[in-house]
Structures are given as C-alpha cells and as structure tokens.
Structure 1
Amino acid sequence: MGTVYALFAGIDDYPVPQRKLRGAVNDVEAAARLLAGLGGGAFEPLFLRNDEATTDAVVAAIRDHLGAAGRGDTALFWFSGHGTDYEAVLPLHRRTEATGRYQALVCVDSPREGGRPLVDKELGSLLDAVAAQGAHVAAVLDCCFSGGATRRPAAADLTTRYAPPAAWWGEARGERRLTEGSGAPPGRHVLLAASRLNQLSHERDFDEVPYGVFTHALLEALRAAGPGATYRDLLAAAHCRVQTERADQHPVLFPPEPGGIADQPFLGGAVTRSLAPHLLRNGPHGWEIDCGRVHGLLGDGPGVTEFTVTAPGAASRVVRARTVHADRTEVEPRGWEPDRRRVYPVALSALALPPTCVRVETPDGSTAARRAAELVREAIASAGPDGGPTPLLRLVDGQGSAPGHLLRVVVSPEHCTGGLGADVLRRDGSAAVPPLRLDRPEEARRVADCLHHLTRWHQLLTLDNPSSPLRDLVRVEILPWTYDGPWSSDGPSPILPDGSGEVVCSYRHSPSGRPQEPWLSIRLHNRSATRTLWCVLLNLTDSYAGHTDLYPGHFIGPGHSGFALNDRPVAMSVPARRARPGAEVRDWLKLIVAEGELNTVPFHLPAWDPDSPDDRGARRAGADGMLRLTPPGHGDRDMGEARSQGRPGQWTTRTIPVRTVIPADRPAHG
C-alpha cells in the first residue's frame, strides 16, 4: 500500500452564532487518530480547522495536498460541518440537476458576504481530477444534503448541520462536458455521505463528547469490521447505527455499482471476495436483511424466505424471514447469535418467487438422449444450496402443469458434431439461447446454470407493482439525439412505440455508405407537482444482461427531469458480430420509481455466455438465480429547510421495449 494523503476539514466556529457546531472538529481529529493507527503505509494528514477552512483553502488543499497522490496512493477528503442546498441558477444546470437544486459544503467563509459554498459539481470535479492521476480517492462528508456528493437545533440534544443559502450565492463553478457516446469518465471517487441529498444530518453528545452521528457510527463500524472491510460493508454497518439514532437520516454510498470502487477495501485495494447480494444487520427493529417486496420478495412467515451467510466457514448460518416490508425483511437467526456490531454478507437460499417450470424432452427416444436428459434433471435437482433443490426451477411433465414462466429443454442429436445437444426453448418453441452441448455430466450442469440465468433475467423483466399510486408519475421520453441548449418543448418529438408496442430505432446510411448507429436522448420527467421520486433505469438486453449504467439511481424533484448518461448521447448499436443488413437487437428499458432510495446491486447481470468460467459454487449458495436487491445500506449538519425522505414506501415499474435495426435495403446514391 502506498501513502495515504488525507485532508481533514472540520468547522465548528461559523460566523453566524446560531449556526455554530460543537462536534465537527472532534470528528476529524477522531478520524485521523483511528486511521493513523490502521497502519499499512505512510499517513500524511493535513488539517483545516475552523477559520483555516475557507472555500479557497479547501480547494487549494485538494489540488495540492491530495493532488500529490499518484498511482498506488490513496487520497481521502473528510469534511465535517454544515451543508446546504439551493436552487440551481444557470439554465444548463437546471437541466442537468435532476432536483433543480445544488448541494454544497458550507465552508467557514461561505456565510460571509461575498463568500461562496463548495458546490457538488466543483467538488466532484476536483476529486475526480485526483483520481485521474491514478490515485484511489475517497470522500467522507458529514453534513446535511451530503448525498448529493458534496449540521440547526432539531430536538433536545441534537444539532443539525445545515446552513440556509445566502442571497449572493450564484451559479456553481465547473463546466459541463459532453462526451461521445462511447466515452468514459476519466476518474471516479467513492463517497460515504451522512445523509441523502434531501436530508439533514445531525450531531449529539456521545459519553459527554459531541460528534456527528454519522462520523461516530462510521468510526465504530471501522473499529468492529477489521481489515478488508469494503465501503459497502462499512456503509451498511454505519447506516444501522445512524438509524438507531435518527430514522430520518439515511447515509449514502456512491457510486453503488457492484464490482466497482464501492466493493474495494476501505482506503483502497483489490476486491478480494465475491459481492454480497444482501447484508444482514442489526437495525432499530432487530435483525434485518436490506431487501424486501420491491426486490421481488413475496410473503411473510418462517420458511417462506431464507438467507444464508456467505462468509467463509459460515455456510450453516441461516436466518429466516418474519415480516417482509417494502425495502427490508425482518429476520430471526436459526441456531446462532450474530454479533450486533457486525454486518454479514448473505445470499438468498429460499425464495418466495414463483419458480420457472422446466420440461425436459427427448423427441428421438434414444438411450443416449434419455440418459443425457436424466443428467439434466439431476443437475436441476442439485442446483440449489448445498447441492439440494433450487427454489427457482421446478421440473414438470407437461405444459398444462406449468403455470407462469416455462422453459423447455429438448435433448437430441447435435447435427454439426454427431454428439448430443440441448435446445433451451420458450413455451412457444422459439430458441431462448443457441444450442448447448450435452455430451458430459458437467455440460448438464451448464444447462442448469443457463436455466438459472434466464430465470433471474426473467424475474427482472417481469418485476411489477401495477396497483401503485406512483404509476405514470414519471414519464420516459426517447428522442433522437440533438444538443441545441436547454430542453424545450419545441425540440425534436419523442419516438413513439409502433403498433407492436416497441420503440424502433433504425441505423441510417452515412455519406460514405456505412451504416450509422442511432444516437438517442432519454429523459425521465417527474410529472408530479409535489413528490420527489427516486428513479433508476434498468437496461435488459437480448443477450440476457442487465445493468443500470443509463441512470444508476437519483432523486428527481417535482416537475424536473433526469437524463440518461447525464445528458450524453445513448448509442444504440448492434454488436459487431451481428451487424449486417437486416440485423436487429432488442433492449427492454425498465424504469423503477420509488418514494425512497434503493440499492441497485441485484439489477446487474452479465450476459449469458456458455463459455464463461463455471461459477456453479456461487449459484449453489442460492445467489445467482435470485433477485438480489440491496438498498443503500441524530444531530443535523446542514443549513436550510429540510425535506425529509422516508423509506422506499410505494414503488412502481414501467417497461419499454426498444428494437434497433439495420435496414435491409441500402438507399441508392446518385
């Protein structure tokens, strides 16, 4: 491990007497003491306390001190103080700020006339510039509205860390940069924030010493977790501790995508274990798993849903569901007592979702085909946890006994090799995937893996809540890409679905005669006049993949819009191996809308690849065939009016089929 360059900014002595804090400097000093004792490399801290922490000084310290971190080093920015939010000024920022507001850190000189806050856009650009040099970059923000990437007295012993916006604060610094459809950001940092972008954060006395509630929780989580704990692990543990103090303060991890920086060890390092689909934690109501009805879990009561701890040597540790809520499931351990200070990675080992029915057929009736079919049945019967049955697949004899989703496995001679093959077909007889070889027992297990993968993808596709009062409040608009300034009603018209309900996007021929992929702009518009709603746009592909790259999850304010890829063009391309006249690919854009935030880890699914390494061990742990949806894991540290946001509550989905085609006929050029 290289050098850890750490910048600690803590501000108690704000110039406005009623906005003074007591625990911010304690926060950063306690954090520095703990981190210095972790060892593993050189530690280079820089402190900006109270009057030292002006906006310009913080900016300069990020550039100069954290900017000294290079490849193999770590740069950490820890801020404790007030946060704020205020209305976005520039039309361009109103377009790209989904809530219509900036979130910002309030430095010591920000409330003084002529001072300015450190706005999320500027802070994010500064940290990403350090990351672009090859350093691992992390930020911990203990202030109000900190979930936007960025403490007023609340109740008896609580102080909020919020400061109201000043009249002279104008537009945010930092430029918006358009990137090409295939471009990628130059660098990214990981953020641990004390609260969501529309919430206050708080401080209070702990053993007669004031600290931020989030900082105190995070440091306790660090002490208990030991080496190797990831940002996701720490956020989940801190989240529980904070919720015990304040039900209206929800810490946030960003970016939350699985397998990325959030799943690296704290302060850097490689991902050393498989992703935990869910986490077991001790919350305000006892032991709970951070997923619920919105993640596809149905039904209550012991025996309906089970989770198994996936930590090494703990495979026999099981918890059972007692009550399934929208975003969490109350559980009870079976035959063991978890450590209340820890969080545990768990996987679904029994599931209340309807299974996919599987019918195995042998049309030619040969002895070899019947033997191979029996191997497939045995593979399915042993595809669950510990080599037992899987709750996601159910063998049936005929279509009449197969309600819901049905897949047919037809075992027959493979014409190209003379061996045996398995065709995985849908109910209507169409091929779900290309034929699979079936000459050896391990190939029968691969067929079972395929059925698991298709089932998980199908569960994402069919996830729905048709009776939700949120239905139709968020509109998805798909338009040809153009950029002529802020969004306006007189711009290009949305592409409407055709008679089959699909949005069709066609390649066009460029002057050179080469097909040009269509570029789109995808807008999510909150039509509600009063509700701020959390949205994620899931892309499901015809290669049985799923991801949230288009719109990873964000709150959208009433009357405001969010744009896919942060208002960059969405390139709808046919894979090169399939690109020919008449070719087409299909995508399903699935919008998920909720009153509160959800984690998107379980929405990520790689494309089905029969030649990929066999990960049957993970599947047998009860993970890969199931929906794995983990939601993002009191004194207040923000200045201004707070808008509390509860748990996910009501939720809804909408699915938009999209077909991208390369026209079969090439227009003549004269």
Structure 2
Amino acid sequence: MGTVYALFVGIDDYPAPQRGLRGAVNDVEAAAGLLGALGQGPFEPLFLRNGEATTDGVVAAVRDHLGAAGPGDTALFWFSGHGTDYEAVLPLHRRTEATGRYQALVCADSPREGGRPLVDKELGRLLDAVAERGAHVAAVLDCCFSGGATRTSAAAGLTARYAPPAAWWDAPCAQRGPAEGTGTPTARHVLLAAGRLDQLSYERDFAGVPHGVFTHALLEALRAAGPGATYRDVLAAAHCAVQTERADQHPVLFPPTPGGPADRPFLGGAVTRGRDPHLLRHGPHGWEVDCGRVHGLYGDDPDGTEFTLTAPAAAPRVVRVRTVHADRAEVEPVGWEPDRRRAHPVALSALALPPTRVRIETPDGSAAARGAAALLRDAIGSAGPGGGPAPLLRLTGDPASAPGHLLRVAVSSKRGAGLEAGVLRRDGSAAVPPLPLDGPEDARRVADCLCHLTRWHQLLTLDNPSSPLKDLVRVEILPWTYAGPWSSDRPSPVLPEGSGEIVCRYGHSPAGRPQEPWLSIRLHNRSATRTLWCVLLNLTDSHAAHSDLYPGHFIGPGRTGFALDDRPVAMSVPARRARPGAEARDWLKLIVAEGELNTVPFHLPPWNPDSSGDRGAHRPGADTVLRLTPPGRDDRDLAEARPRAPGEWTTRTIPLRTIIPGGN
C-alpha cells in the first residue's frame, strides 16, 4: 500500500462576531490518531488548526501536501468547522447550482473584512486535480451546508456548525470554479459529508469531550469496521448513529454510483466488488435494510421476505422483514444478533409475492348467481394450506382502489342450464374461457384458476429495478439463417414495433403452406469483469412458464450464451388456434444473478381447467414466497452447481407476438 497524505483542518476559534466551536480541533486530532493506528502503510499528516487554516493556507496545503500523492497513494482532506451558503452571483452558477446558492467551508479568515470562504466547487476542482495525478482522493467534511439557518441550536447541548454569509462574499474566482460553458465536472474523489445541502450539522460533548456528531459516529464506525470495509459500509453505519442523535441530519456519500469510488476500501485499494446488494444497519427505530418500495420491494404483506448476510458464516444469517417503507425496510434478525456498530452486507434471499385482489360480481343479480358467488368466496377462504385462506388471493369490494394485480369474476347464467364464472382482467378482457360454477367442486376449480393466474403474473412482473446488474446482459433476437448466426451476412436484430412488442409473422414454405418464423436468441454478458448466471424463461399466453430455452448457466465476461444451444427457436401459434389472422403471445423473462438460483419456482404448467390440482399442497404454484437461493440437492435442474451466498439479481421482460397473416 502507498503513502497516505492527509490534511486535517480543524477550526474552533473564529473571529467575532462569529460564534466559535469547541470540538473541531478535537475531531481532526482524534481522526489522525485513529487513522494513523489503523493504517497499513506510511502516514503523512499535516494539521492546520484555528488561525493557521486561512482560505489561502488551505488551498496551498491541498496543492502542495496532498498534491505530493501519486499513483498508488491516497490523499485525504478532513475539515471540521463552520459551513455556510450564500446566493449564487454569476448567471452560469445560478443555472448550475441546484439550490441557486453556493455551499462553502468557512475558513479562519473568511468572516474578516475582505476574507472569502472556500466554495465547494473550488475545493472539488483542487481535489480532482490531485486525483488526476493518479492518487486515490477522499474528503470528509463535518460542517453545515445549510440554507436560511441560524447559529442557535435546536436542542440543548448541541451547537450547529453554521456561519451566516458575509456581505462582501462574491462569486468564486473564475479559475477556481467551473469553466464557463463546461458545466460541473465529474468528481474524481469520494466525499463523506456530515449532512445534506440544506441541513445543519452539530457538535456536542461525548463523555465530556466535545466532537462533531458526524465525526464521532464516523470514527466509531471505522473502529468497528472489519478489514476491507468500504466508504459505503462505513458511511451507512455512521448514518444510523447520526440519525439516533439528530433525525434531521442525514450524512451524504458522493458519488454513490455502485462499483465506483464509494465501493473502494476506506483510504484506498482496488474495487474488489460492486456495491453489496443492500446494507443492514441499526438505526433509531431498530434494525433496517436500505431497501424499500422505491427499490421494488413489496410493501403489502411482507411476511416471508428475508435478507441473508453475504459474508461467510457457518450457517445462513437471516433477517426477516417486518415493515416496508419508501426507502427502507424494518427487519428483525432471526436467531442471531448483529454488531450494532457496523453495517452488514445482505442480499434479498426470499421475496413475499404480492397477492391478487379478486372482485366477485353478479351482473344479473339473480339468487342463483349470488349463491354461486358465496360458494366461490368460501372456496377462496379455504384454498390455502391446511384449509386456510388462499395466501395468493385477497377479496376486495372496490376494484378501482385495489393496488397491483386485479382479477374480476363475473358470475352469471350460461346458455342452457347452469352458471358460469367469467375470469376477467382489470380492463374487462377475458383471462381464460368461462368456467362452470354449479357447485363446490366447480368453485374450487375457479379458485385454483385464480391462484394459477396470480402465480403466472408474479413471474411476469418479477423485478429488482435498483440492481447494479441492470442491463449488464443484453438479449439479442435475430432471424434465423441456415448459415448460422455467426456468418458474415448475419441479419440485423429484430427490434420492437411501436407497441413495444417484437412481432414475428408467419411466412410461406416452398409448398405454399404457412411457415412459422425461426429466431436465434442470444444472451451477451457485457460486463468486463463479472461472470453472471442467467436463465431465460418463456411465459406463454396459456399461462405456462418454463426455462427450456436457456435453463440456467454462467456466462463469462464478454461471452455469449445461446438459447437451445444455438438451435433455431420456432415461434408458433398452437395448432388448435392456427388459422389466418390468429396470433399467440410470449414473454421472454431474463433473470440475471451473481450466483446460481433455484429454478423450480420459475416453472408453471399451462392452465388446464380439467386438472384436479392438489389444493393445500406447498407446490411452486401455491407458494407465496420466492426463495432466491442456490438449488438444493433434491431440486437441482442444472448439470453444474456453484453454491454461493445470495447475491444481486435483476430481470428483463421482452414481449413477443406471433401472427399468422390473413383473416379479417
């Protein structure tokens, strides 16, 4: 490991009338002591305390001291003191500053007549210049970046690290800010800040010694972190500690992009992995995972949703979801107690699938229809394991307000004698042909149908939109040529039409008969470093799902996997429907994961109204929890197995429509 060049700036003594601080110098001295003890290589600290920390002095120290860092070295800038903001002056800056204001560090001479603050963009340019020489650069800022704040504390014992702007502060010098017309450059350093741009940060006494709340939390997180802990890991743990102190102070990590500087080990080292799927941490409300509704986690009935620790352990360490919020999930460890001082990497290992809302309607209002509807309600109420309620279904009386998937069952008289149940989608279209509903056995069959359609819909809509694996595997669909897909005259990929679907049309054979279209389907891993496991499901309009096209294999970086082992994929309309003007729909569902998944839950037979079913059994079609874990010995459907801890996963869905031309 190279040398760590560290610049520690701590300012307690500000000139009047600015209010002074008590914990800033303590912050930088404690930080230097801890980092020096934890370091594995040479450590070169430089301190600027109080009056030494003028704006020009800080700028010079960044250029000269941190600028000595080269390839393989680390440059660290740590500032504890007052922060400020003030209105952007130049027209360009009013456009490029998201708040319309400059955010800045208040140096020792900034409040004096003629002094100036160190604006964040000027500091960013200085740090990026160091990074351009090949050094890894990090900054820790424990100060306010607040708008419209005051110097008074909102709580006893807490002091805000905020200084009001001076009347003479002007725009940053041209050579120090972003060049005109270029916008804001991309940061080449990683930043850990005490709070958001519109928030105060605070200091208080800890065991009689004043410190910044953020610095104290960050140093505690560093002490508890194991080897190789990343900036993201440490910031997540510090965030929870700060939130316990001040719910209105939210530490910030920038840039947060997975696989970037935030995922390097603290004070340097190569990115050995992308962002862990999610982080488990202890916050003011107990244990939580940084995954919520905005990330695609279902909020209704999360019972059964679990995350598993990705770090090696003798036995899986699981936390179960209790409540899902917009940005996080409150969880409960199952049979173990995590270290509260640390953030723990976890992956989603079991997902409670959302139920379908069912609306039962009797359009004709007859007594017979109402009686049959009551039979169906009873069947749904006893269609689950052990004769309990069907876990995949929820009855609703208000279809307009029902979230997610909705099925309507219209009970009415059929031609001739008896009653029938029309199973309809939200838009009123038929999901399956009408089913008889003349007694308890028919009602159970309708309930089974509703469960089957729900399970199929869950597979169709399964997604993990926040995954860093998103779009790493490209699905390419080509017309099949007998010369093979790698010939020099390989045709262009088939692209979606205006409807968003890929449309495949029958042609004609030499004998003049309709000829089904043949396709070549390939999965290309665009990652330069990751070997990814892929399975390609085919969901059909007969409400079946299977993985025959690509049953699940690992694809290396830059490599390609072919559906059906590079044989043509025939897109056909079922024989019983094959006539001019007929069509069939398929949905290709790509699932990409870091490790092998159990594919048994992804298989579903076509809906068959004549099948007897096995009500109450824990079959894949009736399970309400999708377990995203490696296959076991009894359910493995791959020749090769690579057992791994739960990892990141994502999906992509491609709709296809196959048409036989002709008809009206």
| Common fold by TM > 0.5 | yes
Q: Distance in 2 between matches of 1:618 and 1:128?
A: 42
Instruction: Work out whether residues 298 and 324 of structure 1, in 8 Å CA contact, stay in contact via their aligned partners in 2.
Output: yes
Q: Distance in 1 between matches of 2:35 and 2:247?
A: 28
Q: Which amino acid aligns with 1:449?
A: V
Q: What does residue 169 of structure 1 align with?
A: 169
Q: CA deviation at 1:330?
A: 0.5
Q: Distance in 1 between matches of 2:70 and 2:161?
A: 33
Q: What does residue 319 of structure 2 align with?
A: 319
Q: What does residue 21 of structure 1 align with?
A: 21
Q: CA deviation at 1:113?
A: 1.0
Per-residue CA deviations over 1:32-63 (Å, capped at 9, x if unaligned) read 00011113111111100001011010000000
Stretch of structure 1 that moved more, 256-265 or 138-147: 138-147
Instruction: Work out whether residues 424 and 433 of structure 1, in 8 Å CA contact, stay in contact via their aligned partners in 2.
Output: no
Q: Which amino acid aligns with 2:251?
A: P
Q: What does residue 621 of structure 1 align with?
A: 646
Instruction: Work out whether residues 301 and 321 of structure 1, in 8 Å CA contact, stay in contact via their aligned partners in 2.
Output: no
Q: Which amino acid aligns with 1:34?
A: L
- The secondary structure found in structure 2 opposite 1:259 is coil
Q: CA deviation at 1:625?
A: 2.5
Per-residue CA deviations over 1:409-433 (Å, capped at 9, x if unaligned) read 99x99955599xxx99999664899
Instruction: Work out whether residues 10 and 28 of structure 2, in 8 Å CA contact, stay in contact via their aligned partners in 1.
Output: yes
Q: What does residue 348 of structure 1 align with?
A: 348
Bigger radius of gyration among the two: 2
Q: CA deviation at 1:327?
A: 1.2
CA 1:428–1:163: 2 relative to 1, 3 Å: closer
Q: Distance in 1 between matches of 2:495 and 2:126?
A: 52
Per-residue CA deviations over 1:281-310 (Å, capped at 9, x if unaligned) read 011011101121122222355634211111
- The secondary structure found in structure 2 opposite 1:435 is strand
The 5 Å alignment of 1:253-272 reads 253-272=253-272
Q: CA deviation at 1:350?
A: 2.1
Q: What does residue 142 of structure 1 align with?
A: 142
CA 1:91–1:545: 2 relative to 1, 3 Å: farther
CA RMSD of aligned residues (A): 4.0
- Given the alignment of the two structures, is residue 157 of structure 1 paired with residue 157 of structure 2, yes or no? yes
Instruction: Work out whether residues 299 and 352 of structure 1, in 8 Å CA contact, stay in contact via their aligned partners in 2.
Output: no
- The secondary structure found in structure 2 opposite 1:192 is strand
Stretch of structure 1 that moved more, 346-355 or 423-432: 423-432
Q: What does residue 449 of structure 1 align with?
A: 535
Per-residue CA deviations over 1:98-140 (Å, capped at 9, x if unaligned) read 1101100000110111100000110000000000010110000
Q: CA deviation at 1:273?
A: 3.6
Unaligned runs of 5+ residues in structure 2 are 356-429, 433-452, 462-474, 487-492, 505-517, 524-530, 539-589, 593-639, 653-664
Q: CA deviation at 1:404?
A: 7.3
Q: CA deviation at 1:313?
A: 2.6
Q: What does residue 286 of structure 1 align with?
A: 286
Q: Distance in 2 between matches of 1:233 and 1:117?
A: 31
- Given the alignment of the two structures, is residue 435 of structure 1 paired with residue 532 of structure 2, yes or no? no
Instruction: Work out whether residues 102 and 119 of structure 2, in 8 Å CA contact, stay in contact via their aligned partners in 1.
Output: yes
- The secondary structure found in structure 2 opposite 1:167 is coil
Q: What does residue 197 of structure 1 align with?
A: 197
- The secondary structure found in structure 2 opposite 1:86 is strand
Q: CA deviation at 1:254?
A: 0.4
Q: Which amino acid aligns with 2:279?
A: L
Q: What does residue 458 of structure 1 align with?
A: none
The 5 Å alignment of 1:478-489 reads none
Per-residue CA deviations over 1:180-199 (Å, capped at 9, x if unaligned) read 99x985x7110000001110
- The secondary structure found in structure 1 opposite 2:242 is helix
Instruction: Work out whether residues 231 and 263 of structure 1, in 8 Å CA contact, stay in contact via their aligned partners in 2.
Output: yes
Instruction: Work out whether residues 299 and 324 of structure 2, in 8 Å CA contact, stay in contact via their aligned partners in 1.
Output: yes
Q: Distance in 1 between matches of 2:315 and 2:460?
A: 31
Q: Which amino acid aligns with 2:51?
A: D
Q: CA deviation at 1:18?
A: 5.4
Instruction: Work out whether residues 8 and 47 of structure 2, in 8 Å CA contact, stay in contact via their aligned partners in 1.
Output: yes
- The secondary structure found in structure 1 opposite 2:535 is helix
Q: CA deviation at 1:168?
A: 0.4
- The secondary structure found in structure 2 opposite 1:229 is coil
Aligned length: 412
CA 1:405–1:280: 2 relative to 1, 3 Å: closer
CA 1:91–1:161: 2 relative to 1, 3 Å: same
Q: CA deviation at 1:166?
A: 0.6
Per-residue CA deviations over 1:310-364 (Å, capped at 9, x if unaligned) read 1123661111110111111100111211111121101111224669xxxxxxxxx
Q: Distance in 2 between matches of 1:34 and 1:22?
A: 20
Q: CA deviation at 1:447?
A: 9.0
Unaligned runs of 5+ residues in structure 1 are 356-397, 438-444, 453-543, 547-614, 628-670
The 5 Å alignment of 1:208-607 reads 208-301=208-301, 303-313=303-313, 316-352=316-352, 400=432, 401=453, 402-403=456-457, 406=460, 415-416=482-483, 430=503, 435-436=521-522, 448-450=534-536
Q: CA deviation at 1:176?
A: 2.5
Q: Distance in 2 between matches of 1:17 and 1:180?
A: 38
Higher RCO, Cα 8 Å, sep 6+:
1
- The secondary structure found in structure 1 opposite 2:649 is coil
Instruction: Work out whether residues 11 and 49 of structure 2, in 8 Å CA contact, stay in contact via their aligned partners in 1.
Output: yes
Per-residue CA deviations over 1:368-416 (Å, capped at 9, x if unaligned) read xxxxxxxxxxxxxxxxxxxxxxxxxxxxxx9854447749999x99955
Q: Distance in 2 between matches of 1:285 and 1:616?
A: 40
- Given the alignment of the two structures, is residue 116 of structure 1 paired with residue 120 of structure 2, yes or no? no
CA 1:618–1:244: 2 relative to 1, 3 Å: farther
Instruction: Work out whether residues 424 and 435 of structure 1, in 8 Å CA contact, stay in contact via their aligned partners in 2.
Output: no
Q: Distance in 1 between matches of 2:519 and 2:240?
A: 43
Q: What does residue 46 of structure 1 align with?
A: 46
Q: Distance in 2 between matches of 1:418 and 1:17?
A: 76
Q: Which amino acid aligns with 1:435?
A: I
Q: CA deviation at 1:237?
A: 0.5
Instruction: Work out whether residues 308 and 317 of structure 2, in 8 Å CA contact, stay in contact via their aligned partners in 1.
Output: yes
CA 1:626–1:405: 2 relative to 1, 3 Å: closer
Q: Distance in 1 between matches of 2:90 and 2:591?
A: 38
CA 1:51–1:180: 2 relative to 1, 3 Å: closer
**TM superposition score normalised by structure 1:** 0.56
Q: Distance in 1 between matches of 2:17 and 2:502?
A: 74
